[in-house]
Structure 1
Amino acid sequence: MRLFLGLFCLFSLGYSFNFLVYSPLFAHSHSTFFGTICDFLTDAGHNVTFFTPTIVTKYRNISYTKSTKDVVHMDPSQKLKDFGDQLSSGDISRFWTEDSSATEIIPVIRVFQNMYNEQAEVMKNNLEILDDLKRRNFDVMIFEAYVFSAYPLMDYLDIKTFIPSLSVTHNVALSESIGEPAMPSVVSDGLLPHGEILSFWERIVNVLVVRSIDSILGYPVHRSFKPPFNVIDIRHIEPDASFVFINSNPFLDFPRPTLTKTVEIGGISVDVSKIKSEKLSKKWSQILNLREKTILVSFGSLLLSKDMPLENKKALVRAMREFEDVTFIWKYEDNDFERFSGGVENIEFAEWVPQRALLANPRLSAFLTHGGLGSINELSYLGIPAILCPLFADQMRNTKMLTRHNGSIGFSKYDLSNSKKIAEAFQKILYDDSYSENSKKLAEQLANQPIKPKDSMVKHAEFAARFGRLPSLDPYSRKMGFIEYFMIDVAFFCTIILAMMVFVIRKIVGNFHVKIKIE
C-alpha cells in the first residue's frame, strides 16, 4: 500500500507544473477572470502563484482565489496609488454623457499605459519580492496581454514560456502580432461600437482607428531589471507566446477567423452549478419575495451609478414607479438616493449586491446592465433576459454581440433621461416571453458546448508547460509584407498576362479580318 502511494505521489509530482499568474489589482472583473484561471490550474494539481500588485487599494483585501493559497501582494508607490485613486474616484464618469469613440478612448488607454509603466518601476524597486518569486522556478507565466509590465517581470524571473491572456473578447493589435487574420472588413477593434456587418464608413473608421492606435500608442519601452538594463523588444517577443487565452466564446461571440494558438475560454469564471448552489441571505430572499417580478440594476464597478447625471436618475425612478408589481434592486454606491427617488416604494438601493446569486435565482426576472463582459457572460450562462445600456470601451460591441441572440435589448445611454423609453424597455423585457425563451436557449447551448472552457484552458496551459514555446504554431503569414500577404503582386502579374492575352487575341482577330477583306 505504501509503495502504491509512493508511486502515485511520484506520478503526480511528475505532472505537476509551476504557474505564475500576474494580475495587478485595478479592476474587479479582470482580477476575477485571472483568479479563476489560478483556481482551475490549482484544482488540476499544479503549483500556482497569484502575483497581484495593488493599484486600486479597495481591491487589496478581496480574495479572488479559493483553492489557490499562494497569493503574493506588492504595495503601490504613491504615484501608482494616485493612478488607482483616479480609477476608483470616477475620473472616467464623463462617459455617462460623452461619446466613447476611439478619439476619446485613446487618452484613457494612455493613462492605463502610464499606470502599467509605473507598476514596472514599483517592481524594479522591490526586487526582493521578485527574488522570492524567482526561487519558485516557474514553468509558465500567464498575464493580461496589454499589461506590458509583465515582460520585464518575465525577463527578471527567467521564464521562457508565457501565455498572454485577455479578459476581453479580442484585441486587433494582439491578433496582428501573432499572425491571426484581422481583416478590417470583418473584424472590428473591440473598442469600436461595430457589430458583425460593417458599413462602408464603418470599415473606413475601422482601418483608421486600428492604425492610429498603433502609431500613437504602440508598444511601451521597458528595460530589463537586470544589468546592463537592455531594452526589451516586446513587439519581437510577443509572437513567441505558446498560446493566447481570450475571454471569448464561439457560441456567444461573432464568428471570426482565428489561429490554433488562440484559445477561447469565454465564460470560464461562470461556474453555473456552483453559483446556483449558493444560498441568498434572508435579506435578499425577502426582497425577491416582495413582488411578482424583480429587475436587478447595476452598471458595474468602473462607471458608478452615483456619478450618473441627476436627470438620468430621476428618469429611471419615474419609469420604475410605473411598474408597481415589480421590485427594482439598484446597485447604488452612495446614500443620497432620497433626493431623487422621492420615497418610491418598489426600489431597493444597495451599495453592494450579490450579483451572481441574484442572477442565478429564478425569482429574478431581468437585468439592466452596462454590458461589461463579466456581466454578459454571467447573464448568458444563467439565461437571464437583459437590457444592455453600454457606456464605454468594449461595452458597445458586447451589446451587439449579445442582442443578436434575441434574448436582450440594446438601450442607448443618451436615452437614460427619457423615462418613456426606459419604461418601454422595461415593459418589453418583462412581458415579451420571447426574450426569456431565447435567453434560456442560449444558456442551454453554452451548458452543452462540446469543449468546456475550463478543460480547454487547463489542457492548453499544461501543454505549454510541457513543451514550451511552439514555433510550429507560428504562421509565416505574420512575416509577409503587405504586397505578398494580399497577393497584390500576383494580381498585378495576372492583370499583365490577361492584358497581353487580350492584346494578342485582338491582333490575331484583326489580322484575320484584314485577310478576309483582301481575299
Structure 2
Amino acid sequence: MRALQCLLLLFSIHFTQSLKFLAYNPLVGMSHASYINKIAEILYDAGHEITMVSPPMSGRTKMTYPRNWTVISIPMAKEDIATAARDGESASHIYWKYKSVFDFMKIIESVTNAGVKQCDVTLNHPGLLDSLRAEKFNGAFAEPFDFCGFGLIYLVGIKSYAMTMTVPASDNTLRITGLPPMTAFVPGMTSTFGEKMTLMQRIINTVVVAMSGEFMAAQWKKYQSTFDKVDPQFPLMEEIINNSSLYLVNSDVISDFPRITTHKIVEAGGITLGLSNGTLDEYWDSILSLRPFTVLLSFGTVAKASVMPDEYKKSIREAFKRFPDVTFIWKYEDPSHGISKGIPNIIESTFVPQKELFNDARLTAFITHGGAGSMVEFLHAGVPVIVVPLAGEQSRVGPLIERLGTGVKVLRKDLDNPDVLTDAIHNIVYDTKYKSAAVLISGRLKDQPFSAKERVLKNMVFMAKHGPLHFLNHHGMEMSLFSMYAIDVYLILLISIIILISLFLFIIYTGIRALLRIVKKRMEKRNIKKEK
C-alpha cells in the first residue's frame, strides 16, 4: 500500500512539473531542422510535452523524430514544390559562384518568398489554430529563418517564447536584444575580417552589418499581410520578435569572438552533438589504417562538391597527389565523375560517417566550408581544420579559426591554385601546433561548468514557468543610438569643457592685457621722470 502511495506521489510530482511547449520546425534545411529537433528532445527527455508544427519548405529535407511527441505535418504549398527543387539546386551553384553578400541575400530572399506562401497554407490548415489554442501551452520556440513561427505563436496566444538561432549570435540577434553595434571589434556574420580591423575594415564591417539588418527587417515585413488576413488587429512583426523572452544561439563563449551580451542570450553551441561511441565499421576502419595520415574533405550537403568548377576539382586532385603518405576521404556526390580515378590515395564516397571519423584519433585533419554544424563537431572533437569559406556566415569562420589557432584558411578563389592548397595541407598535417590548439579548445569545451544542454533546459523551463521575461529587457532597447551611446551627454560635456577652457583663456587673456597696460603706464611714468 505504501509503495503504491509513493508511486502515486512520484506520478503527481512529475505531472505537476510537466510543461507544454510548442515547437515550430519548418523543414528548410537539415541543420536548421535538427537544431530545433534537439531543443525539443532536451525538453521532452526532461519530462515535458512537445507539440511540433513542421511545414515543409524544401522537398529535400526529411526529418525523423526519435521521440514520441506530437508532430503536426502541414502540406506543402503547391507553388513551392517546383520552386523548392529549383532553388535547392540553384543554392548549390551559388555557393561556388558566390561573389558578395548580395548573392547570399538572393538565397535568403528566395527562402523568404517561399516561406510567405507556405505560411498562408500553414495558418489556414483546417483546425490548426483552434487545436493549438486548446492546448494552453506554457512556452514555445521558433527560428527566424521562417518568421511564420512567431506569427503562429502570437495567434495561438503564447506569451512566453524563445527565438532559436542555428548560427552564432548574428548582427540581427544583437539588434533585437537591444545590444549596441559592436562593429569596431566584432566581425559581422558575413565578414571576412577578424576582431583586429583597420579603419577601412571597420567602415566596411559597419556598413555591411547595417545593410544586413535592414535587409532582414524587410524580409520579416513580407509576412505581415499574411498575418493581417487572419487577424486584422495583428501587431507589427518587429514588436512580436522583440518580445521574445530568450535567444538561443548556436555558439559558445569559448569558441566565438568575445562580445558584449545580455541575460536574454543563451549560448547553446554543442547541443546537436550526437552520442556517437566513436566506432567505425570494418570498411572505414580499414580506410583509416591505410596510411600514416588521413584527411577528410566535405563541403556539407548544400554546397555539393560535384558541381564545383572543374578547375577547382583539378587543383584539389593535383594537391592530393603530392601527399602519398596521406589518405584523403572526399565526400563527393556523383560517382560517375570518377573524381578519384588514377589517384590511389583519394577515397571518394557519397556518404561519410563524419561524427565517427571525428572521434577516431587516426583522423589527422578536416577540410571544410565552415558550416555551423560541422564547426561545432570538429571543435568539440579536437580536429585541426582547413577552412574554405564559401558564402554567408562561413566567411567569418576563417578568421575565427585563425584566432583559435586550430587551423588555416584558404580562400575559395585560391582553390584553382594547387600550390596554395598544398601549403595548407602541409602545415595542417605536419605542424603539430594546430593539433595541440585543437585539443586545448576541445578540452575547454568539454570541461565547462555548465553544459549547453543544461543551459537550454533550465532557461527554457524558467521561461515557461515565469515568462514572459520582459524584466530582462534593459532600458537601452527603447533608446536611440544617440542616447544609448550617451552621445548627448558627451556633447554637453564637450561643450561645457570648451566653454570652461574658453572662459579660462579669456580670463588669462584679459589678465595679461590688464597687466600689460599697468606695465606700460609705469614705463611711461619712468620715462617722464627721466625727461624731467
Alpha carbons 2:142, 2:162 under 8 Å: kept:
yes
- Report the equivalent of 1:27: 29
Alignment equivalent of 1:11, drawn from 13, 21, 30: 13
Q: Distance in 2 between matches of 1:285 and 1:132?
A: 50
Segment drifting more, 452-461 vs 433-442: 433-442
Q: What corresponds to 1:336 in structure 2?
A: 336
**Residues 1:82 and 1:441: Cα distance change in structure 2 (over 3 Å):** same
Distance in 2 (alpha carbons) for counterparts of 1:118 and 1:192: 31
2:51 is matched by which residue type in structure 1?
T
Q: Which residue of 2 aligns with 1:264?
A: 267
Give deviations 1:106-143, integer Å, cap 9, x for gaps: 22221122122122112023133444444332211111
Separation (CA, whole Å) in 1 of partners of 2:361 and 2:306 = 28
Q: Report if aligned partners of 1:90, 1:307 keep a CA contact under 8 Å in 2.
A: no
Match of 2:41 among 33, 39, 42: 39
> SS in structure 1 opposite 2:465?
helix
Partner of 1:58: 60
Task: Confirm or deny that 1:255 pairs with 2:258.
Answer: yes
Report if the CA contact (8 A) 1:90-1:303 is conserved: no
Gapped runs of 5+ residues in structure 2?
520-532
Higher mean Cα deviation, 1-10 or 73-82? 73-82
CA–CA distance in structure 2, aligned partners of residues 68 and 374 of structure 1: 25
Alpha-carbon shift at residue 257 of structure 1 (Å)? 0.2
Cα displacement string for residues 149-189 of structure 1 (whole angstroms, at most 9, x for unaligned residues): 11221123221111011010022123112212323222332
Q: CA deviation at 1:404?
A: 1.2
1:511 deviates by 3.1
**How is 1:465-476 mapped onto 2 (pairs within 5 angstroms)?**
465-476=464-475
Measured in 2, the distance between the counterparts of 1:300 and 1:247 equals: 17
CA deviation after TM superposition for structure 1 residue 502, in Å: 2.0
Query: Is the 1:55–1:83 Cα contact (8 Å) retained in structure 2?
Result: no
> Equivalences for 1:508-519 in 2 at 5 Å?
508-517=507-516, 518=518
Q: 1:228 to 1:74 in 2, by over 3 A?
A: closer
Query: Does residue 243 of the first structure (1) align with residue 246 of the second (2)?
Result: yes
Do the aligned partners of 2:142 and 2:150 also contact (CA within 8 Å) in 1? Answer: no
Q: Among the aligned pairs, what percent are the same residue?
A: 28
In structure 2, the residue matched to 1:457 is 456
SS of 2:392's equivalent in the other structure is coil
Alignment of 1:226-375 (within 5 A): 227-271=230-274, 274-275=275-276, 277-338=277-338, 340-375=339-374
**Distance in structure 1 (CA, Å) of the matches to 2:489 and 2:197:** 27
Match of 1:138 in 2: 137
Cα distance between partner residues in 2 of 1:75 and 1:485: 46
Query: Partners of 1:393 and 1:68 in 2: how far apart?
Result: 35
Residue 419 in structure 1 maps to residue 421 in structure 2: no
Task: Evaluate the alpha carbon distance shift between residue 90 and residue 365 of structure 1 in structure 2; reply closer, same or farther with a 3 A threshold.
Answer: farther
| Residue 486 (structure 1) shift | 2.3
| Higher relative helix content | 2
Q: Specify whether residues 468 and 371 from structure 1 end up closer, same or farther in structure 2 by C-alpha distance, changes over 3 A only.
A: same
Distance 1:359 1:78 in 2: 41
228 and 454 in structure 1: CA distance in 2 versus 1, 3 angstrom threshold: closer
Query: Contact 1:247–1:267 (CA<8 Å) still a contact in 2?
Result: yes
Q: Mark the runs of 5 or more structure 1 residues left unpaired by the alignment.
A: none
CA distance in 1, matches of 2:117, 2:230: 20
The CA deviation at 1:320 is 1.3
Deviation at 1:92, TM superposition (A): 4.2
Give 2:528's aligned residue: none
| Other-structure match for 1:127 | 126
- Say if 2:249 and 2:266, in contact at 8 Å, map to a contact too: yes
Q: Hey, what's the Cα distance between the residues in 2 that align with 1:160 and 1:451? A: 28
AA paired with 2:120? E
Question: Which residue does 2:67 correspond to in 1?
Answer: 67
CA contact (8 A) 1:28 1:59 kept: yes
- Structure 1 residue 227: Cα displacement: 4.8
| Distance change (3 Å), C-alpha of 1:150 and 1:228 | closer
Q: Which has the larger radius of gyration?
A: 2
Partners of 2:51 and 2:443 in 1: how far apart?
34
